[in-house]
Amino acid sequence: METWDCKDDRDSWFEKMKHTAEQVGFAKDMKTFKKSPDSYQGHVGDVAMVLRAALSHSAFTPDLYDVMQVMGEDRVRLRLNRFVGR
């Protein structure tokens, strides 16, 4: 949440997602994960899935970036705060 900015374009947002994934022990992409799966907890797609579930309560949504844009900053922050217990 500290790095998310609703004004980010799709590419900037995804770069931040990859950076966040690496910070918490996940590979930044599937290729990196497949090379050394025992070195990571998962990959950026797994991080995105947790985020998707936290925001939508579903594992199946349209593109996560688009969902977050439609939800808007206030709703995204509210749901993420609830998810992490703030």
* pLDDT, tens digit (0-9, with 9 covering 90-100), for 36-65: 999 999 999 999 999 999 999 998 999 999
* pLDDT, tens digit (0-9, with 9 covering 90-100), for 12-22: 999 999 999 99
Residue 1 three-state SS: coil
Identity of the residue numbered 36: S
Q: Do 3 and 19 meet the contact criterion of CB atoms below 8 Å apart? A: yes
Confidence of residue 1 (pLDDT cuts 50, 70, 90): confident
Global pTM value: 0.84
Sequence-separated (6 or more) residues with CB below 8 Å from residue 26: 33, 40, 41, 42, 43, 44, 46, 47
